[in-house]
Amino acid sequence: MSKKIFCTLFCAFSALFIFSQRPEADNFKTKKGDLTIQPILHGTLVMQFNEKIIYVDPYGGAKAFKGMAKPDLILITDIHGDHLNEGTLDALEINDTPIIVPQAVADKMSEKYQSQLHILANGDDKKLLGIHIKAIPMYNLPIADDAKHVKGRGNGYLLQMGRKNVYISGDTAGIEEMRNLKDVDIAFVCMNLPYTMDVKEAASAVLEFKPGIVYPYHYRGNPDMSDTEVFKTLVNDENTDIEVRLRNWYPSYD
């Protein structure tokens, strides 16, 4: 067998292995076309809407995105390495791709990315590629200057795509800004202490803002703090109208 043929077969096998590990994408109908959501890793996801590709918190290196189309838009929530990961950004084809960030993230990014940045503070909004994007606060409770996520530094995001409202929590507790959200169709809600919140607090917040569908994500950590089955039970014991979608956010990309 020639070296060229061997390399081709090896790459194809590797791609198939990665795809077999990655959860299947979910598809949603909207008033303006299909919305596809692909879990990637931890707090990272890829969405496609009207042929536009959105990466959220790209993390995991190039392997995590093998087979994915290059992004037309990137959202970054916070400064920590599982959200702002320049090693991953450097490995992706993102020349001229607009990147939505809070100021704290912009301050830490390399000069080569500065011209691509669109900075949103908590409460700011912007429309790009036909998508309305609003920056939602994300922070720890109790509020403290030495918290892992201080109020005002990072952004969750609320995206409107074809009248579908998609909420991405980022790293946060069950704060009032989350609990007061209205008309959320799809939500991604974190749960892992000591960085965000425990399962009970995440379920309590979800029961208040009542998304149509919720994905627990960003749950790596102490098992009793990150039990997605318990989260599902807590939510659905109180409200069976909320669909809890459990996905494997920790596939192997090795």
| pLDDT digit string, tens, across residues 68-87 | 999 999 999 999 999 999 99
- 189 vs 152: CA distance, rounded Å: 19
The pLDDT value given to residue 252: 87
Question: Over the stretch 21-67, which tens digit does the pLDDT of each residue have?
Answer: 789 999 999 988 999 999 999 999 999 999 999 999 999 999 999 99
The pLDDT value given to residue 223: 67
The structure's pTM equals 0.91
* pLDDT less than 70: residues of the chain: 1-20, 222-225
Q: Give one DSSP letter per residue of 167-219, joined into a string.
A: EE--S--S-HHHHT--S-SEEEEE--TTTS--HHHHHHHHHHH--SEEEEES-
Which class would CATH give 24-244? Answer: alpha beta
